[in-house]
Amino acid sequence: MFKKKPSIKAQAPLRSSDRRKIAQQIIHDLSCSPSSTDDGSSSSSTEASLRNQLLPDGSSSAKFTTTHGPELTAVSGNIYFGTHADEQVERPLWVRVDRQSPELSPTVFTLWKNPTLLPLLHTHENVVERLYDGADLMTPGLIGPPFPEGAKAGTLVGIASSERPTVPVAVGVCEIDIAALEKAAGEKGRAVKILHWVGDELYRLGGSSVKVPEALEITGPVADAQTASVTDTVGKLDIAEGKKADEVEENKCSGEEEIRQLDTEEIDDAFYNAALYGFYDYCSNDKVSALEFPLSSSAFISTLVHPYLPPASHFPPHNLLQNDGPHPSLQLKKTSWKNTAKFLKHLHTKQLVMHKIRGGGESVVMNINWQSSEVQSFTPYKLPQAPKEHRAEASMASGGGEKGGTIKIEALYRPNGKAIKFFTEINEGTKDFYTASDLKSLLNGYIETNSLAQPTNKRLIKLDPVLSNALFASTPADTNELAKSKGIYKRDQLAERLITTCAPYYRVIGPSGEEQKPKAGQPPKVSVVLEKRQGKKTVTRIFGLESFGVDPKGLAEELQKVCAGSATVCQAVGLKPGLLEVMVQGSQSKVVEKVLEKRGVPSRFLTVLDKTSGKK
């Protein structure tokens, strides 16, 4: 939720009555109970101590707004700040989010002072790294059973790693009844929706001096049970790992073993052989005439490579029960080439294709060497088949189903300005397009190659001249930032700098998977404008359709039938010649949204402007 920096208003001190009320609500919602005392303290003083432990005296609050999720949903609420008795620094302790249940959630700073406040779930360290990127916790990532009894659907939980089992590093809400799970391995779906984690923007409000504890001492009435649960859970990890090899060997006999992850060399060979298979198939079955050259890189991959990738049973240890499905490791981004342009360049060096990079950085295949000895002597292998339910869905789609797929927009980045120095240093293409994930992988590879990560904390990176020159501008702000960093910078912040230094592009992927040429700038949107014409008549104008491959004339004909009114197509006002707009009578924004969604354009790609009432 706090992956992006929130906008925070000025803090205001909490009145004592408000503080007690909020603390009492927390005690009620989380079923907290005061620790028993042996010194004769009254119950009222013990409750007051508990309230002060959860929300210290002198706390303050501040309103915040931010956006969350891929659709940038607006989120607002209050952050409660306070200083615990044994600290001098004010930290964010609680967050109240409007119109969300549960309403109040603690930060990790609060959990470190109250380790038994929430049920604590455990996961592996590599999964925790994914949580630090803003991912949710999936069910297979859980360690257990046993799971805490309080980890039920809709309840708040803390997340800790197996390496530091008593230290919560994230807070989330259970999406399933985790306490009732009999096993986690092999299950699917999201287990916990993560609200806050160590390193997010909420955490950074606690100051730069804070350090994650190595371990926490669990005290209180549930201490023994909690400690026993943690010890039991972590203790079982080694046993589980020890049994894993035996289980795999045993499962081989029944054909139930998990599909082995392939190494890079195997994936490279699979893609290379798939291309040979594609060339062989088209050549030997007289299908060459169906191809139109020059062939775009996306068309080349989707037509001549992907359909010919081998099934999981192609790779040892062989398992005939896996013949029906493709191997999950076979993804172009997992090859040594990482992207289509480099793969085509490799095929070019093998004299299998004639590859060219056009202006704008678009990779195209000009021709294919059908007479290559490798193609002519190729021996076909058995191809994977889609599962039956997938084939049925494909049949329905081809039979004129109501929905043929959804249009997607992929954010891409291209080296620009000072960032080019970094790509030149690592011998990567400066004209290629990269996803954010690609850029992070390249940065991590450079960090590993040059041993720049701090030995005690892999998230802190030593800045060398290449990173300093490529990712920091010669502005006063960046100069001050470099001076403040003292040569050490956070890994995720470096990744963000690399992304923002590159030029933004986008690519539209059609419902059937066809990819358009990358275009510069931010992703487009379809504009739906409601306005008055001739006094009181309302019309709805729709433009920006061409970016999504929607035919304005076809849309006008459909809207004319659905809306039972006239619909016209004309030159879009204020746009370059050739771009059309559809105009339909009446206030039809909801109808337009449904019709476009049926054509594969999700509502998040629409902007609706109501000029009839001044509302948006």
Residues 436-490 have pLDDT tens digits of: 888 998 998 899 888 999 888 888 999 999 898 888 888 888 888 888 888 899 9
Domain boundary residue among 350, 376, 402?
376
Residues 500 and 528 in one domain: no
Same domain, 318 and 455: no
Ramachandran angles phi, psi of 516, nearest 5°: -85, 165
pLDDT of residue 361: 65
**498 in any annotated domain:** yes
SS3 content of the chain, % helix, strand, coil (to 5): 35, 20, 40
pLDDT at site 605: 85
Asked whether residue 128 falls in the same domain as residue 191, the answer is: yes
Q: To the nearest 10°, the Cα dihedral for 542, 545, 547, 548?
A: 120
Same domain, 62 and 176: yes
Q: Model confidence over 157-187: pLDDT tens digits?
A: 999 988 888 899 999 999 989 988 888 877 8
Query: Do 474 and 344 fall within a single domain?
Result: no
Domain count, the chain: 4
Same-domain pairing of 30 and 148: yes
Please enumerate in sequence order all residues whose Cβ is within 8 A of that of 611, keeping only pairs 6 or more positions apart, or say none.
529, 530, 531, 532
- 253: exposed, middle or buried (Cβ count in 10 Å: 0-12, 13-18, 19+): exposed
Residue 351 confidence (pLDDT): 93
* pLDDT reported for residue 72: 63
What lies within 8 Å, CB to CB, of 38 at 6+ separation is none
196 φ/ψ sector (left φ>0, alpha ψ -120 to 50, else beta): beta
Q: Is residue 253 part of a domain?
A: no
Q: Are residues 364 and 450 in the same domain?
A: no
| Cβ–Cβ < 8 Å for 251, 242 | no
* Residues of the chain scoring pLDDT < 70: 34-45, 69-72, 101-102, 218-260, 316-326, 359-361, 385-405, 512-514, 534-535, 614-616
Q: So what's the pLDDT on residue 116?
A: 87
Which CATH number belongs to the domain containing residue 421 in this structure?
1.10.245.10
- Residue 356 and residue 439 in one domain: no
Domain extent, residue 347, equals 264-376
**Which of 529, 608, 533 has its CA nearest to residue 572?**
529
Count of C-beta atoms within a 10 Å radius of residue 499: 18
- Is the Cβ–Cβ distance between 179 and 216 less than 8 Å? no
Q: Are residues 39 and 115 in the same domain?
A: yes
Give the number of other CB atoms < 10 A from CB of residue 180: 12
Q: Do both 192 and 87 map to the same domain?
A: yes
Model pTM? 0.42
CA 598 – CA 353 distance, rounded (Å): 39
Give residue-wise pLDDT tens across range 312-334. 777 766 444 444 566 777 888 88
Say whether 81 sits in a helix, a strand or coil: strand
281-304 confidence digits (pLDDT tens): 998 888 888 888 888 887 888 889
The closest alpha carbon to 328, from 316, 312, 305, belongs to: 312
pLDDT for 38 equals 41
Residue type, 581: E
Together in a domain, 536 and 495: no
Residues 33 and 178 in one domain: yes
